[in-house]
Every structure is written in C-alpha cells, then in structure tokens.
C-alpha cells in the first residue's frame, strides 16, 4: 500500500509525511505544519547547516536503485557533512521534485528510507516542500549543533600535522563498477555494493573529533580522497603528502576489483562517495591505533601536511605519477583534483 | 559575459558564486567553502528555517520568464515564509539543478537576481550544492532569527480574534492571467505582472508583528487567501469568517481583469502567490489604520475568528456560495481550500 501516494495531492503528501515523521522533539519548537520550522539552539552551541541534492538519471536510476536505500542515502550524505564539521545532527528539511507518474513504491520507498535514517540518526524531518517535476530529485538540508567555536574546518590544517582517515576507501566506487558490469551478487561483492547504495557515514565520530584539542582540519571523503584533501590544502594554504601504500582498502578489494578490471587504489584515491572522514591532527596526537580506540572506528594514518600547495602522492617516499587516463575509469572529472 | 558559466565545472560555479556572494558577515562563522555553514545564534533568539523549490516547466518557463526576476523570486518566497514566522532573515543555502545546455544568460541572470535579493534582504548565500539535471530547478533554504518563544504560529488564532491582511491581494494571479493572454504591457497592467514576476514580500513586517502582544496567528498568502486561512483554521482548531467586500484589491484590478475575463475577487481569494501576510489579532488590537501606521504597510481588517472549523466567506454578513467552476479559473486545486 502506498502510504505516501500522491493521489491526494501535495498537501496529502505533506500530511502523510507529517504523520509518519511523528512528533518533533529535542530543541524543535515547531516542525512540519507551519510556514517554517523553529529550533531553540542551546546556549554554547553553534548551528551547522548543509544542503545536498540527488537527481534522477544523474545520481541514480530507479531501474537499478532500491528506492528505500536511496532515501536513506539522501540524508546520509548530509549527515556525513555534519560529521565533517564536528556537529551532532538535530533535524532536516526536504525539498522533493516528484513526477506525476512516479510509481507509488518509489515514492514510498524513498520516504520510508529517509524517515528510517532520520530516526536512526535522531535527525527528524521538520519541514519541506514537495513540487511537481519532470524528473525525480531530492534536496536535503540538514542541521547540526557543535560546541561554540569548535566546528572542524577545512582551513585548520597546519604544516607538521599528520593526516588520518576513518574506515576504508574505494568500496563505493568498486561497488558502482560491479553494478555497472552487471555483477555484485557474490558474497565478497555485496559489502562493496552496499557501501555504494547505503553508505553509513561515521558522523558520530565528528563530534568526538571536535572535542579533541589535537585535531586540525576535517572533511568528509565524498569527491574522492585526493580531491577532498586538495580542498583542505587549498583552504588551509598548505600542501598534503599522501603515502598511497597506507591508504586503507576494503577487505578483498583487489580480488573483486580484478573481476571488473578496476584498480582498488585508484578507487580509494579518486572514487568518491566513501563518506568517511579525513582529518589532520597535530604532531602530539596519539597513534592511529590509540585514536581508533578513542573514536570507536578504524583509523589509519596516511600522510602529512607541509608548507606548499596541492596534494602529492608518494609511494615508499617517492612521488607517484598519475596517468591521466586512470581518472576516467571512475568518471571523476580531472578538474576536481586539480582544485 | 557569463560570470557564472558552467564551462568551468561544478567547482568553478561554486567558486564564482563564492566570489560574487562576498564575505559572510553577521553571525556566520563559516560560509561557502567548507563542508557546511556555521551560524552563531545570539542568546535569546530561536532559529527559523524554511525550504521552497521552483521547477522549470512547472513554476516557470525561461521562454516567458526573465531569469533575474526568477532568481530574486526564489529567495523572496522564502523571505515571505520567514516573515510569516516573525523572523528576521540571516542567510540561505541554494541547491541548484542545472542542465548541461543551459544558456549562460539564464544561469547568470538567475544567480545575479538571487544574490541581489540576498543583499537587499541582508540574507547572504552561505552554501549550496550545484548538480546536473535534465531540467532547471532551484531549492532555497532560508534561515531567520526570532525572539525566543515569539515565533508567529498558524496555531495561535483564538475565537474572538480579528483577521487582517497586508497590502492587496490578487495582483499576482491577475498578472499571470495577463501574461497567459499575451498581454501585460499597458501601464495599468505592468504593476500586476511585476507582482507576479518579482514579488516583494513585506517580510520585515513579520518581525514587527512578533514584537506585539496583541497578535495571534500569522501566515503568508502563497496558496491563495482562502486556502491559507484554512491552514490557520485547521492548525488553530477554529473557524474563520472573511467579509469578501473588505478584501483589498489592487488599484484598477476590475478594469484590467475584465480584459482577460477574470474576476479580481476570485484572484484575491484563490489566486495565490501574493506573498502578503495574513494575521489574527486580539479584540483589543487597534484599528487597521493604526496597525498600518505602526507596521509601515497597508493593513486591512477582513474577518474574524469564531469557534468551529473551516473558512466561511460572507458578503454583507451572508454566506457566499462559491461555484466550483470558478476554482479552475486560476488553476487553484479545489483540494487546497478544503484542507
């Protein structure tokens, strides 16, 4: 049964979401059902806000995407941004473009996945706008709170910092490559496909990082590690060296990647959509193993910050050349990493 | 020259917007250029947030729309929502779907109009996401601040309240009807067309209303007066009577409406997109003339609140029947007013 069927019109959809979203708690004084949402921001907290959009036939196809995962992912990518600022999620707004002929199960699945992710992350949907559109698209705005003045910035890396990353990188790009080759069903492939379809960003780690005094810059790995570290390098006015042999790859990545002619290291460096956290920490910071215990996630030390500009890839301490052709493999536009 | 030309890719667009948007001031600690924006909310203020979307071929056509006005309108409709909550705008986020073949002047015009509106309203663009899309769409999230606990709610109307509206109603719907009839160029038509293309919501009035202790509910007139008052009636658990002869019409509306076979009163009651404020005030509130002086805008008293439900239209104190056919004239779905 289509819980959110559009037959009842735009207002019916909002009313259905309102019922399913449930009563708003926390600092929200007003949620769905007024001209705007109202949040009481606690003393000593800064408000963090971010917006991300997903578009049919650009970021996904309903033919190959499970709508429920897509709804969860639409919010997950925002949670990842909040985590990268060190913020705890508090709520979200949804703008949704919906074709008149959208199958009920696509809309229902999307909203059910979004609301389930919202509950799991304690990030309630507090308002939105649903509009007609020739294609399906969703724009999610998410809000978070961070201790006053303690947001993790891209501009906070300093020469001498060490560079860390959570989890493993490249799984999402390999998962996508598997799907595009008509694979993804074998037991060692499924976890990679899941990372692509239903990323689970370690956004809670961001707030833990923000509490530490030895952490510098942070960013979520969404465009690809090299591209994202290049943002940090630019905003901080520094250069970043990455030891490619230390970049953590998913279990069995080489074996699976070989089946689709992919290189797991390229996937990790340029693939994107990992939604892990990359951060710099001062020289005095503890080891990756100790950070890992303190933060509750796998952490790897992959590089360092020095004066200069841009990102340099090193293998055994020597600069690595990146054949331009490799970039196309995962459809990462070259311009991204150059910035 | 296309200042925001997409040729440079997504990052080029963001960089160009960042330069044009200028340095972020006020309570913003971080604007465009990080994973998310960071706002320091002053003590004693609640945060108000709202999202609205515009879609090509649904809400506008570039063939008949001037892109600069459209960009301004995309933000204006959000400012209207903030005003309806009694909030002062502080910033906005933009998610933008852009076709690969969008003419440079459309994109430039849209962004220039948006940024001009943002400057005029002191509501800086602090972040966003630009994505490829088969059609052009924009989703604007706007933030405002209101004194703690003083947001104007749809649920705050009480039996005995009097009902007021700012400005005049129906201009936008008449302007649209003129455009659709291939008219709109004569001197008495142009102001109506302008109200449709480039609405100027009196959002500053909202903050003034929020300071008063004799104001009840408020809403912005976006769906049409009757539909919007129906929202207030439902959320407040009351009935609202509207004296149709007291609804303020634009100057010359009857004469212009006759040219396109429209009824100015229907436009005022059901047309929508007026972006004026409707509000209720206690019996003790001053006259419309006095409120007008205090608020700095034209204010008309158009009805009253009583126990019950729904919106009732009265002429000379007697209920007016609304022929169903009239609803279609301005394309207002009947379902809207029934809710």
Judge whether A156 is closer than 8 Å to chain B, CB to CB: no
Distance from CA of A43 to the nearest CA of B (A): 7
Report A:238-267 residues touching B (Cβ under 8 A): none
The predicted-structure confidence for B140-195, as pLDDT tens digits, reads as follows 999 999 999 999 999 999 999 999 999 999 999 999 999 999 999 999 999 999 99
Judge whether B76 is closer than 8 Å to chain A, CB to CB: no
Residues ≥6 apart with Cβ < 8 Å to B236 = B154, B155, B156, B157, B158, B216, B217, B305
Report A:3-32 residues touching B (Cβ under 8 A): 8-9, 11-12, 15, 29-30
Q: Which residue has the tokens 């705050």?
A: B156
Contact A138, A95 (CB under 8 A): yes
Distance from CA of B43 to the nearest CA of A (A): 7
- Greater confidence, B316 or B336? B316
Distance from CA of B258 to the nearest CA of A (A): 31
The predicted-structure confidence for B240-296, as pLDDT tens digits, reads as follows 999 999 999 999 999 999 999 999 999 999 999 999 999 999 999 999 999 999 999
Quick one: DSSP state of residue B34?
B
Report the alpha-carbon distance of residue B302 to residue A58 in Å, rounded.
49
**Token pair for residue B234?**
């439902």
The predicted-structure confidence for B274-283, as pLDDT tens digits, reads as follows 999 999 999 9
The β-bridge relationship of strands B299-306 and B162-166 is antiparallel
Contact residues, chain B, for A35 at CB < 8 Å: 50, 81-82, 84-85, 154, 218-220
**Token pair for residue B302?**
């158009």
Contact A256, A192 (CB under 8 A): yes
Q: Report CA torsion sign: B24, B30, B35, B39.
A: negative
Residues ≥6 apart with Cβ < 8 Å to B303 = B162, B163, B229, B240, B241, B242, B243, B246, B314
B262-296: buried (b, 16+ CB within 10 Å) or exposed (e) per residue?
bbbbbbbbbbbbbbbbbbbbeeebeebeebbeebe
Contact A309, A237 (CB under 8 A): yes
Q: What is the pLDDT of residue B63?
A: 85
**Which of A108, A72, A80, A295 lies closest to B129 in space, CA to CA?**
A80
**Which of B221, B223, B214, B216 lies closest to B237 in space, CA to CA?**
B216
Contact B98, A55 (CB under 8 A): no
The predicted-structure confidence for B184-240, as pLDDT tens digits, reads as follows 999 999 999 999 999 999 999 999 999 999 999 999 999 999 999 999 999 999 999
Q: pTM for the full model?
A: 0.90
Report the alpha-carbon distance of residue A332 to residue A291 in Å, rounded.
31
User: Which ranges constitute the DSSP H helices of chain A?
Assistant: 9-21, 67-84, 104-120, 171-180, 190-197, 203-211, 225-236, 253-259, 264-270, 288-295, 324-329, 334-338
Report the alpha-carbon distance of residue B5 to residue B232 in Å, rounded.
43
Walk across the sheet containing B45-55 and list its strands: A28-30, A37-39, B45-55, B137-147, B88-98, B125-132
Give this complex's ipTM.
0.89
Q: What is the pLDDT of residue A25?
A: 66
Does the distance separating the beta carbons of B30 and A153 come in below 8 Å? yes
Report the alpha-carbon distance of residue A259 to residue A1 in Å, rounded.
40
Identify the band that residue B65 occupies on the pLDDT scale cut at 50, 70 and 90: confident
Report B:181-210 residues touching A (Cβ under 8 A): none
Identify the band that residue B321 occupies on the pLDDT scale cut at 50, 70 and 90: confident
Judge whether B155 is closer than 8 Å to chain A, CB to CB: yes
Judge whether A125 is closer than 8 Å to chain B, CB to CB: no
**Token pair for residue B240?**
């609202």
Using the predicted structure, report yes or no on whether residue B33 has a pLDDT greater than 70. Answer: yes
Q: What is the pLDDT of residue B272?
A: 92
- B304 SS3 class: strand
Q: Which helix (H) or strand (E) holds B132?
A: strand B125-132
Residue B160, number of CB atoms within 10 A of its CB: 15
* Phi, psi of B290, deg, nearest 5: -70, -40
The predicted-structure confidence for A2-61, as pLDDT tens digits, reads as follows 445 444 445 556 667 777 766 666 789 888 888 999 999 999 999 999 999 999 999 998
The predicted-structure confidence for B92-129, as pLDDT tens digits, reads as follows 999 999 999 999 899 999 999 999 999 999 999 999 99
The β-bridge relationship of strands A45-55 and A88-98 is unpaired
Residue B149, number of CB atoms within 10 A of its CB: 10
User: Which ranges constitute the DSSP H helices of A9-103?
Assistant: 9-21, 67-84
Q: What is the dihedral of CA B225, B230, B235, B239, to 10 degrees?
A: 110
- Which of B8, B131, B139 minimises the CB distance to A95? B139
Contact B7, B61 (CB under 8 A): no
Contact B141, B36 (CB under 8 A): no
The list of chain A residues with pLDDT below 50 reads 1-3, 5-9, 324-339
- B105 SS3 class: helix
Walk across the sheet containing B310-315 and list its strands: B215-220, B277-281, B162-166, B299-306, B239-243, B310-315, B318-319
Q: What is the pLDDT of residue A5?
A: 44
Q: Report CA torsion sign: A339, B4, B10, B15.
A: positive
Determine the distance from the C-alpha atom of residue B129 to the mean position of all C-alpha atoms in its chain, rounded to a whole number: 23
Q: Which residue has the tokens 């999610």?
A: A140
DSSP assignment string, B117-131: HHHHTT--EEEEEEE
Contact B251, B173 (CB under 8 A): no
């Amino acid at each position: 049964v289509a819980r959110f069927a559009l037959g009842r019109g735009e207002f019916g959809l909002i009313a259905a979401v309102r019922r399913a979203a449930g009563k708003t708690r926390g600092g929200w004084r007003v949620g769905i059902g007024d001209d705007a949402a109202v949040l009481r921001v606690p003393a000593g907290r800064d408000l963090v806000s971010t917006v991300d959009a997903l578009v049919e036939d650009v970021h996904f196809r309903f033919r190959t995407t499970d709508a429920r995962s897509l709804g969860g992912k639409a919010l997950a990518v925002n949670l990842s941004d909040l985590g990268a600022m060190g913020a705890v999620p508090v709520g979200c707004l949804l703008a949704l473009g919906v074709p008149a002929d959208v199958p009920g199960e696509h809309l229902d699945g999307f909203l059910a996945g979004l609301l389930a992710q919202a509950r799991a992350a304690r990030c309630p949907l507090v308002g939105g706008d649903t509009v007609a559109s020739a294609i399906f698209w969703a724009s999610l705005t998410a809000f978070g709170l961070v201790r006053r003045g303690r947001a993790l910035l891209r501009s906070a890396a300093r020469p001498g910092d060490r560079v860390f990353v959570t989890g493993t990188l490249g799984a999402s790009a390999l998962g996508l490559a598997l799907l595009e080759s008509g694979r993804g069903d074998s037991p060692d492939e499924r976890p990679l496909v899941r990372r692509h379809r239903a990323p689970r960003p370690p956004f809670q780690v961001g707030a833990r990082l923000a509490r530490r005094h030895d952490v510098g810059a942070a960013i979520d790995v969404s465009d690809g590690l090299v591209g994202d570290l290049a943002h940090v390098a630019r905003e901080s006015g520094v250069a970043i060296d990455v030891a490619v042999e230390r970049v953590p790859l998913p279990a069995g990545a080489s074996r699976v990647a070989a089946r689709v002619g992919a290189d797991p290291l390229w996937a990790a460096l340029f693939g994107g959509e990992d939604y892990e956290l990359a951060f710099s920490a001062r020289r005095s910071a503890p080891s990756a193993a100790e950070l890992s215990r303190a933060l509750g996630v796998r952490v790897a030390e992959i590089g360092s910050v020095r004066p200069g500009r841009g990102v340099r890839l090193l293998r055994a301490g020597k600069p690595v050349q990146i054949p331009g052709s490799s970039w196309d493999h995962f459809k990462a536009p070259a311009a991204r990493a150059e910035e």
